[in-house]
Amino acid sequence: MKNLVKNNKHLIGVFIIVIVFIIFKIPHLNLPCFWDEAWAYAPATRMMYNHGLSLLPDAIPVYCSRGHPVLFYFLGAAWMKLFGTSMAVIHSFALFISIMLLIMIYFFCKEFFSSTIGLISVILISVQNFFLAQSCLLLPEILISFWVLICIYAYLKKYRFLYIICAAGMLLTKESTIVLIGSLILWSLIKNIFIKKETNRIKYFFYELFILIIPVLIASTYFIIQKIMYNWFFFPEHLNLISFNSTYFFNTLNSYVSILFIYQGRIILTAILLLTIILKIFFKFGNKLSENEKEIFSIFIIFFVCYLIFSSLNFFSPRYILCLLPLFIISTSYFIYNTFKDKRIFQILSFIITITVCFYFCTQKILTHDHDLGYLNAVEVHKEAVQYCEKEKIYNKKILTHFLMRIDLTNPYSGYLSGQIFNNIVDKMSDDVEFCIFSNMEYSPYFDEIKKKYDLNLIKKFQKNNAWTEIYQNKNNKDLSIK
């Protein structure tokens, strides 16, 4: 027994971290949905549950799926078929995927680096505010992160069948993940054409190319069916959001880089990573990178660059780059451990500083967005506001409010309503509007304009830290449009 524990001490450590992680997330499971999961993912998954499981594009209405492949909704609906439809069950599906990601991070590191680096990586990802916020939201980014890591793993291990299945699943979760396949093709080209010296390297490149594109061929059947059904391969509204404007591109790129490498205390991780790379290259600290390790980090770098460029051309949302976070954490863990391997005092000091800073920031609930634990405050004040409206029984009153609150008041699948929906919600101010509900989650300058032009009486305000929601009663007669 003693030897068993000793031989598996890192795996036991991961198991303990996962248990603590689950305990931390349990209070969040029963909360209502937030932002995109409230108006899109939760309703779409529930529709899949109600209408029957299907992987066809018309399994759920396009206005809910937003034209994305439906595998994520399919898996969520299947989970609900097994365990029920409560908010706790819905969010436990997301939590289960997050646990699988933590386990995959450990085994990836154990296979290619060491079990120690695996344990360190799991610790560091577990105290990331970004990951903790997303980890039980019904959104596909955690699943995408899992697919990305297991696809890289399968490629490196030459597990062809595993790669094909997981890469197809990845593409059928979200189209943007084709960037990973493109990155692997680019690396295969560089490796086989420019690095290898074997005479059959070109032949092997085309063999790898064939394997790499098989998932694309599999997933393309979905988009061909979608074209037949709707006359488009990709959702036109999403295509219209792509911008090649250089100002937009560089501003978005700067935001993504800041979110990934600077915010929420990750500037410490970035600084330590850069320091260890400098020490390794110029001062010969630690061991040299093996050929296998060079390949791993080459793939990471190519994917980082390609995915950041692709994401910066599209609609901005911080959670879209979550799949890069595990790769960043793994890289940082490796270089800290490997660089200071023979200097334990520096190694221990680095990890104490890093984990302390990460832990501090993971407890900060600053923003009211889904990449920060501050979303919990936003959910709470919205929940209290909806309960107040239910208590006052203003179901048929004309209420002006913003998009998110309108969803909370009208969509039973978002988790805020206890029964009846509010059936007279508008986004245009007029004489007969009786109540106005404003929140800082989507605060608009038009709300200030309304407050100036109308005699609004504040009847209730709910606030928790930086999140607040105000309910006003209109006592005036003027006309003002909200756009």
Q: Which pair of structure tokens corresponds to residue 468?
A: 């607040």
* Number of compact structural domains in the chain: 2
Among candidate residues 446, 434, 442, 431, the one with its CA nearest the CA of residue 467? 442
**Residue 33 buriedness (CB in 10 A; 0-12 / 13-18 / 19+):** buried
Q: Which pair of structure tokens corresponds to residue 259?
A: 């979110």
**Are residues 14 and 122 in contact, defined by beta-carbon separation less than 8 angstroms?**
yes
Cα separations in angstroms, 242 against 144, 314, 321: 21, 5, 16
Dihedral of alpha carbons 198, 203, 206, 210, sign: negative
Question: Is 329 inside any structural domain?
Answer: yes
Q: Which of 362, 386, 412 is the last residue of a domain?
A: 362
Euclidean distance between CA atoms 480 and 148, whole angstroms:
48
Among candidate residues 66, 90, 88, 70, the one with its CA nearest the CA of residue 79? 90
Q: What is the DSSP string of 28-57?
A: HHTSPP-THIIIIIHHHHHHHHHH----SG
Question: Is 367 inside any structural domain?
Answer: no
Question: Is 389 inside any structural domain?
Answer: yes
The model's pTM is 0.91
Among candidate residues 84, 60, 87, 88, the one with its CA nearest the CA of residue 74? 60
Q: Is there a single domain that holds both residue 358 and residue 389?
A: no
Question: What number of H helices and E strands is found in the chain?
Answer: 22, 5
**Are residues 372 and 399 in contact, defined by beta-carbon separation less than 8 angstroms?**
no
**Are residues 408 and 414 in contact, defined by beta-carbon separation less than 8 angstroms?**
yes
Q: Is there a single domain that holds both residue 305 and residue 388?
A: no
Q: Is there a single domain that holds both residue 292 and residue 409?
A: no
Amino acid identity at 124: L
CA 100: distance to chain centroid? 15
Q: Is there a single domain that holds both residue 148 and residue 55?
A: yes
Look-up of token digits 């460029």? 309
Question: Is 142 inside any structural domain?
Answer: yes
Query: What is the extent of the structural domain holding 396?
Result: 375-474
- Residues of 388-409 as b/e, b for ≥16 C-beta within 10 angstroms? bbbeeebeebbbbbbebbbbbb
Q: Is there a single domain that holds both residue 327 and residue 349?
A: yes
Q: Which of 323, 340, 362 is the last residue of a domain?
A: 362
**Are residues 449 and 421 in contact, defined by beta-carbon separation less than 8 angstroms?**
no
Q: Which residues contact 52 (CB under 8 A, 6 or more apart)?
A: 59
- Residues of 165-191 as b/e, b for ≥16 C-beta within 10 angstroms? bbbbbbbbbbbbbbbbbbbbbbbbeeb
For residue 457, what are the β-bridge partners? 473
Q: Is there a single domain that holds both residue 283 and residue 399?
A: no
Q: Is there a single domain that holds both residue 223 and residue 93?
A: yes
Question: Is 369 inside any structural domain?
Answer: no
Q: Which residues contact 371 (CB under 8 A, 6 or more apart)?
A: 129, 130, 133, 134, 259, 318, 319, 322
Q: Are strands 399-401 and 435-439 parallel, antiparallel or unpaired?
A: parallel
Among candidate residues 133, 107, 140, 141, the one with its CA nearest the CA of residue 121? 107
Euclidean distance between CA atoms 252 and 318, whole angstroms:
10
pLDDT for 179:
96
Q: Which of 314, 341, 362 is the last residue of a domain?
A: 362
Q: Is there a single domain that holds both residue 319 and residue 183?
A: yes
Q: What is the DSSP string of 208-262?
A: HHHHHHHHHHHHHHHHHHHHHHHS-SS-HHHHTT----HHHHHHHHHHHHHHHHT
For residue 473, what are the β-bridge partners? 435, 457
Cα separations in angstroms, 319 against 81, 134, 217, 287, 360: 28, 8, 27, 35, 21
Q: Is there a single domain that holds both residue 308 and residue 452?
A: no
pLDDT for 481:
44
Q: Is there a single domain that holds both residue 147 and residue 280?
A: yes
Question: Is 482 inside any structural domain?
Answer: no
pLDDT for 336:
85
Q: Is 68 left (phi over 0), alpha (psi -120 to 50) or beta?
A: beta
Q: Is there a single domain that holds both residue 253 and residue 392?
A: no
Q: Which pair of structure tokens corresponds to residue 281?
A: 């290259």
Instruction: Report the chain (483 residues): mean pLDDT per 10 consecutive residues.
Output: 69 92 93 90 91 88 82 95 93 96 96 92 90 93 97 96 96 94 95 81 87 95 89 78 87 93 87 86 79 94 96 89 95 87 66 69 69 89 94 91 92 90 88 89 83 87 90 70 42
Q: Is there a single domain that holds both residue 51 and residue 83?
A: yes
